[in-house]
A = this chain, B = another copy of it.
């Protein structure tokens, strides 16, 4: 393996000049990606990378069916929801058909952040409450109110926001309901009236916690019994990624009041949505209307409809389950061969691999994870990291990932964990 060091100084210098310093690049040696197809991304030198990180291109990069649908609609009409149109209705009908019957209405936004932000607004308006419960290393979006509900982002919690421990550790999932119950008591004692529990149903930034199925139910029961709403943040786990159900909340057998979705919905096109019980939106609608200029526009709907069609036609839910299980077994086997892997978690094609001190590299969990992410990149496999301690590899490939791709990933991971950079 040759070292893959390129001179990006020109582009880095332009970037530093015109983009805000709030931007961050992936990898010690940033990649200049110029094209992508399916599970592969290609850099400016033509080197290819297996994409095991990006969840947005859910049906694979540049899927021709989605591109064609997008193109056809962009040539014909791209307008908003204040005219009548079939597409937003067709899309809403198809989305709602994947959910419990109680969730009957849709509002379109452009991003998962806008979807979560709207769910927060709706929760406040409908309950009259201002109190929100989140997990203590969660991420829910970039808007002002969500930055106060996204401790992963590094800022302080917003007013009325309470963070409960992530379902980490052996007792974590079992204790989660009790943490939420105690939090509700604390809110009552402090005179904060409850609006909602907002949870990413795969607990991605918390470190990826999927099992046991159903552990979320007790927390949701406590919140709904206390008059609060449950917002299922499906921006990351949604659209079949978890391999058994279209939405993460379905693995837990719970009924959300609001469901937010985003990232993979348009395979890269900015489209997102909130689904909710009709009475929830109806109560919000008594006070406010909501118009999102691009939300549910013709092209966004065409892209999202094409994505749903590909997920069905290529049977990607089943593929995510099958390839995910295959990859999971491979990771478990690898964990049995190396002391560097502390745990393998997740569901379908959303997996977290928690690392600990690696004797081969001599590095502890977080430093080792960083080394592995960069080492995998040099070996041509793209991964990320997550978790409060930065010690969890995040594997979250397009749902078109096949066993041969899993094999490539596993082989590269075994080599990288072997400590040979």
Contacts and interface: CB of A to CB of B under 8 A. Distances in A.
Contacts of A61: 77-79
A62 interface: yes
Interface in A68-108: 70-71, 74-86, 88-89, 92-93, 96, 104-107
Contact of A21 (B33, B270, B271, B281): B281
B19 A88 contact: yes
A285 B16 CA distance: 13
Contacts of A64: 75
Of A12, A75, A293, most B-chain CB atoms within 10 Å: A293
Contacts of A11: 84, 86, 89
B144 A144 contact: yes
A84 B294 CA distance: 27
A164 interface: no
Contacts of A262: 293
Given A18-B96, A114-B114, A288 B153 contact: yes
Contact of A31 (B84, B93, B112, B267): B84
Interface in A263-291: 263, 267-271, 276, 278, 281-282, 284-285, 287-291
A218 to B, nearest CB: 29
A154 B77 contact: no
B75 A62 contact: yes
Q: How many copies of the chain does the oligomer comprise? A: 2
A382 to B, nearest CB: 9
Contacts of A289: 22-24, 153-154
B8 A79 contact: no
Contacts of A77: 33-36, 41, 61-62
A204 B145 CA distance: 26
B32 A83 contact: yes
A93 B14 contact: yes
Contacts of A339: none
A93 B263 contact: no
Contacts of A92: 18-19
Contacts of A315: none
A105 B21 CA distance: 8
List the 6 closest A-B pairs by CB distance, nearest first: A78-B268, A20-B281, A144-B145, A18-B92, A270-B294, A32-B84
10 contacts: A18-B92, A18-B104, A19-B81, A32-B85, A62-B76, A78-B267, A124-B144, A143-B143, A144-B144, A268-B294
